[in-house]
Structure 1
Amino acid sequence: MTLSADLLSILACPDDKGPLYFIAQESVLYNPRLTRAYDVRDGIPVMLIAEAATVDAAEHERLMSIIAEQGIEPTFDAASDD
């Protein structure tokens, strides 16, 4: 499942308001700062903090490896929004 570039460009973590990484093969938007994963169900991001999963260190490393290997960019550049 893919998300449109327009949608991805405006998605932010509802908790810390920072960028996310969309890992399509996992159907998840990931916030490495909070080690929190938001599901994407039927093409719809579920951006509810209460429904997010906090991942352990091993899962964080696995997700970060996927992000690095695939060159996944964050949903937006936080530095340019200052």
Structure 2
Amino acid sequence: MATRAEGIDPVVRDRLVCPQDLGELINAGDELYNPRLRVAYAIDEHGIPNMLIDDARAVSDEEHARITGEDA
């Protein structure tokens, strides 16, 4: 089963960037993830990402390592 991140239209997905640093985002299941700032943006059940800075959630070192494949 595809994740919410994978379900975003590819044309739209190619244009989505982090609103904080305007950098690339990683698909992280039901979220889009900025590994530089370690924040995740939720994608709702309709496939619409919430790109509001105030709604982004902080990601722990352990979760960052899991998402990126890096050592914690």
Sort the TM-score into its range (normalised by shorter chain): 0.7 to 0.9
Question: 1:27, CA displacement in angstroms?
Answer: 0.6
2:24 aligned to 11, 19, 35, which one? 19
1:53 aligns with 2:57: yes
How many corresponding residue pairs? 63
The one of the two structures with greater contact order (alpha-carbon pairs below 8 A, sep at least 6) is 1
Percent identity, aligned pairs only, is: 40
Query: TM-score when scaled to structure 2?
Result: 0.82
Q: Considering only aligned residues, what root-mean-square deviation do their CA atoms show, in Å?
A: 0.9
**Cα distance in structure 1, aligned partners of 2:63 and 2:27:** 15
Shift >3 Å, 4+ stretches: none
Question: 1:5, CA displacement in angstroms?
Answer: 0.5
In structure 1, runs of 5+ residues without a counterpart are 66-82
Query: TM-score when scaled to structure 1?
Result: 0.73
Question: 1:22, CA displacement in angstroms?
Answer: 1.6
**Cα distance in structure 2, aligned partners of 1:44 and 1:3:** 8
What corresponds to 1:74 in structure 2?
A: none
In structure 2, runs of 5+ residues without a counterpart are none
